[in-house]
Each structure stands twice: as C-alpha cells, then as structure tokens.
Amino acid sequence: MTTAPDKKELPEPVPSHVAIIMDGNGRWARSRGLPRLAGHRAGVENLRRVIEASVEFGISTLTIYAFSTENWERPPAEVRGLMGIVEEVIDTQLAELHGNGVQLRHLGRLAGLDPKLQKKVKHAIELTHDNRRLVLNVAFNYGGRDEIVHAIRDIISDGVSPEEVDEDLVSRYLYTSDSPDPDLIIRTSGELRVSNFLIWQGAYAEWYVTPTFWPEFGRDELYQALCEFARRERRFGRVPGPIHSS
C-alpha cells in the first residue's frame, strides 16, 4: 500500500462528504484474544486519527456509523459497554474536538438513550454548533429505514399535500438535512452490505470496501480510498459525454 503524501499531492477531486461504516472492531479484538469492548475502544482511538486525516485532506463533512437501531439486539453487556464508551468519549475528547474546529451533529433518535447521555450529546452539539473546520455527523441509534419512516410521519404531521412531496422535500426532513449527500461511502472489514446506512442519501455515492478492520484503517487507507474515488467517473444515472439524437 502506498503511503499517503502531503495534501498538495492529493488526487482530484477530493470528496466533500465521506461516510464510513466502521466495521470489524469485534473481529480485530478476537484476532488478538481480546474482549469485544477492547476492539470498540481501539476503534474510538482510531477515529481520532481519521478525523485528523480528514481535515488534512480537505474533507468538509465526515459521517460515521457508530451504533445502529439493530445494535440494541447485541448482548446487554456489550450495549452497556458501548454506551459507557460514548459517554467517556464526550467527557474526555469534546474539548479537543471543539478546539480543533469540529462541529458535532447527531443522526438518529436520542429517545432510548439514558437521559444523562442525552444531555451530554445535546451539550456537545450546542457547544460546537458554530465550528466550521469539519462537520462530524455521528449516526448513533440510527437506521436508514427508521429515518425515512420518521421523515414520512413528520411530513404528514406538518400537513404537506401529496403534490408538494418531491425528493428535495423528503431530503429536508431527514436527519442529514443540513449536510450534502455523501460522495464516498467507505466500509471496513470487507463486508458487502449497506447495513441500513444512509439508504436515501447514498443513492449515487461511490462505494469503497476494504478488508482492513476499522481499528487499523488509518491515514494511508483513507488516502487509498480517495485515490480510488478520484479514478471513478460519477454518472448519476446519466450517459457520459455528449448525447446525440438519432
């Protein structure tokens, strides 16, 4: 694998919005004879490196899939441990993220989380609201289908007529209403599944799948993903080049 060069040597174009399914923490831990929570902690530590690289490479929005609506079905001890890690991250890293100009946003439902954790998440969002160096969307207690159902309910509740409903309107009711659609979605650990992640927003995103487990996905791996993105021809359902009538 090629080591990432300086930012000035980055391939063009650089995606404005990168989304990541951070997969493989448990398998990374198991391969080392460690408990699954050790893998999640290693994954959190790695996130710091990826955030730093994203800023360096000129990515303006980074979305991470941290905890899905389906993850509640995991063993209770693991769920409790994950919630504890999230609270610990807010307590120990919020000041650094804020100082580095990171704006935190939450995608998903706060309902269902411990009230103490809800309060801390809201505080983190409010504290970093005006930061502009990097927008970090944290998809936590998030599911793509649940997001769309939530949007439909809000549209109906607001009395929107059927004639007014179009793609732009639906997008405004999603959790990502303040973010552009992702240009690039990365999935670590080699799994070939969408996993209920940004299923509306990612309709025309480029995908990059790597067998690397998330705790080992660093600056150089992100660079490789950006190089692959730069080689893609984004068509958005259209035919490339000029269209000639017959």
What is the model's pLDDT at position 234? 82
Catalytic residue among 6, 25, 46, 71: 71
- Which residue did the predictor score with more confidence, 16 or 240? 16
In the predicted model, is pLDDT for residue 61 greater than 90? yes
Predicted local confidence at residue 10, as pLDDT: 83
Residue % of the chain over a pLDDT of 90: 89
- The residue-averaged pLDDT of 25-46 equals 96
Domain ranges, ordered by start, for the chain: 15-231
Res. 246 pLDDT band, cuts 50 70 90: very low
Question: Average pLDDT for residues 57-82, to the nearest whole number?
Answer: 96
- Mean pLDDT over 131-146 rounds to 98
The stretch 110-133 carries a mean pLDDT of 96
CATH 3.40.50.10490 correct for 15-231: no
Dump pLDDT digits (tens) for 189-199: 999 999 999 99
114 tagged catalytic: no
- Per the annotation, the verdict on 23 as an active-site residue is yes
Query: pLDDT value at position 4?
Result: 63
The catalytically annotated residue of 6, 23, 131, 196 is 23
What integer pLDDT is reported at residue 67 of this predicted model? 96
Both tokens assigned to 192: 């070939």
- The average pLDDT across 167-186 equals 98
Q: Mean pLDDT, to the nearest integer, of 160-177? A: 98
Report the pLDDT value the prediction gives residue 197, as an integer from 0 to 100.
Answer: 98
Look at residue 121 and tell me whether its pLDDT is greater than 70: yes
**pLDDT score of 99 more than 50:** yes
